[in-house]
Structure 1
Amino acid sequence: MSEKENLVRFGISMPQSLIEQFDRLITMQGYDNRSEAIRDLARKALLTSSSMQPNEIVAGTIVMVYDHEIRDLPITLMELQHDYHHAIISTMHIHLNHQQCLEILVVRGEVQKLRELQQRIQVLKGVGYAELSVTHVDEHGSGHSHDHGHSHSHPHS
């Protein structure tokens, strides 16, 4: 929130037990007051992929946990990632135990395409969890340069 933005007061009615639980939660999370916590909840709700326009450009992650012992699942996941190579910036693969893998896909593109990828992963047999988390991307830039003094041009074989 910008310092110049005006704050608007409004009232919220909640059952006593819900507000008590909420107060305990925000205290544990370190909030000084309910207003800060409510603002963060509103921001988070606005960043859910389902609340965005389908063609909005976003960046984020798809986090998945799957059973690598399920026949052909790792190959199917790799082929699916190749189908969406234009949207996947980076991946990280972690072996949680002998059977389970955690994979994180860093993605960027139209929210509708990223949702489609997440849903195609989620329905595969052996995938226990697949969650898309996104944030807005300013396509016009903020004047911040991404040139950090090194070249990204290098030969590929």
Structure 2
Amino acid sequence: MSEKENLVRFGISMPQSLIEQFDSMIAKMGYDNRSEAIRDLARKALLTSSTMKPDETVAGTIVMVYDHHSTDLPITLTELQHDYHHAIISTMHIHLNHAQCLEILVVRGEVAKLRDLQQRIQVLKGVTYAELSVTHVDESSHDHRHGHAHGEHH
């Protein structure tokens, strides 16, 4: 929040049990007061891919868990990632156990295209979890290619 922004006060009504749970949670998270916790919740809600304009350029992650023994699933996932190679910046693959893998795709592009990729992953047989999390709105540019070469020092 910028220093010049005016703070606006407003009241919130909540059931006693909910506010007690909220106060307990935010204390464990290290918040000093409800206001900052609610501001963070509002910021997070505004970064939800479902509430953003489809052509908004963002960065984030797609996290998935799948059974790598599922017929042809690893091949299908690889082909799908190649179809979206312009949107995928990096991947991390972790073996959770004998059958399950966790894969994280770091992505950047238009919300609609990233949501499409997440949905195409989610519906594949053997995928038990796939979630798009938007972590940054790129307000400076509609062109999501960055202007430096990897490996160069600035």
Which TM-score applies when normalising by structure 2? 0.91
Structure 2 residue identity aligned to 1:62? I
Question: Quick check: 1:84 aligned with 2:109?
Answer: no
CA spacing shift, 1:107–1:101, aligned 2, 3 Å: same
Report the secondary structure of 1:25's partner residue: helix
Instruction: Give the CA deviation at 1:86.
Output: 1.0
Q: Where in structure 1 do 4 or more consecutive aligned residues deviate above 2 Å?
A: 138-141, 145-152
- Structure 2 CA distance for partners of 1:148 and 1:27, relative to 1, 3 Å: farther
Partner residue of 1:21?
Answer: 21
The percentage of counterpart residues that share the same residue type is 79
- 1:3 shift after superposition: 1.1
Residue type matched to 2:115 in 1? R
Relative to structure 1, is the Cα distance of residues 49 and 2 closer, same or farther in structure 2, using a 3 angstrom cutoff? same
Stretches of structure 2 lacking an aligned partner (at least 5 in a row): none
Which residue does 1:138 correspond to in 2? 139
Query: Which segments of 5 or more consecutive residues in structure 1 lack a partner in the other structure?
Result: 153-157
- How many residues align structurally? 149
Q: Distance in 2 between matches of 1:140 and 1:105?
A: 22
- Match of 2:89, SS? strand
* CA-CA distance at 1:148 after TM superposition: 9.0
Give the aligned partner of residue 30 of structure 1.
30
CA distance in 2, matches of 1:109, 1:116: 11
1:66-105 alignment runs, 5 A limit: 66-105=66-105
2:126 is matched with which residue? 126
Change (3 A) 1:140 1:119: closer
TM-score relative to the length of structure 1:
0.89
* Residue 7 (structure 1) shift: 0.5
